[in-house]
Amino acid sequence: MSKLFSDTLREYRNGSLVRHLSEELAAVVLAVQKERKPGSLKLTLTLTPDPASDYEFSVQAGVAVSIPKPSLPKATFFADRDGGLFRTDPNQNDFFDEDDRPILRDTAAE
Q: pLDDT tens across 15-51, in order?
A: 999 999 999 999 999 999 999 999 999 999 999 999 9
Residue 72 lies in a domain: no
What's the rounded Cα separation, in Å, for the pair 36 and 70? 9
Residue 11 lies in a domain: yes
Question: Buried b vs exposed e over 19-48: b needs ≥16 C-beta within 10 Å?
Answer: eebeebeeebeebeeeeeeebeeeeeeeee
As for how many domains the chain has, the answer is: 1
Residue 40 backbone dihedrals phi, psi, to 5 degrees: -150, 160
Residue 58 backbone dihedrals phi, psi, to 5 degrees: -100, 130
- Residues shown for the chain: 110
Residue 55 lies in a domain: yes
Looking at residue 39, its amino acid is G
Which residues span the domain enclosing 40? 5-66
Residue 46 lies in a domain: yes
Question: Which pLDDT band holds residue 103 (cuts at 50, 70, 90)?
Answer: low
Q: Is 8 helix (H, G, I), strand (E, B) or coil?
A: helix
Residue 28 lies in a domain: yes
Q: pLDDT tens across 49-58, in order?
A: 999 999 999 9
Q: At residue 107, does pLDDT exceed 80?
A: no
Q: pLDDT tens across 78-102, in order?
A: 998 899 999 888 877 766 666 666 6
Residue 10 lies in a domain: yes
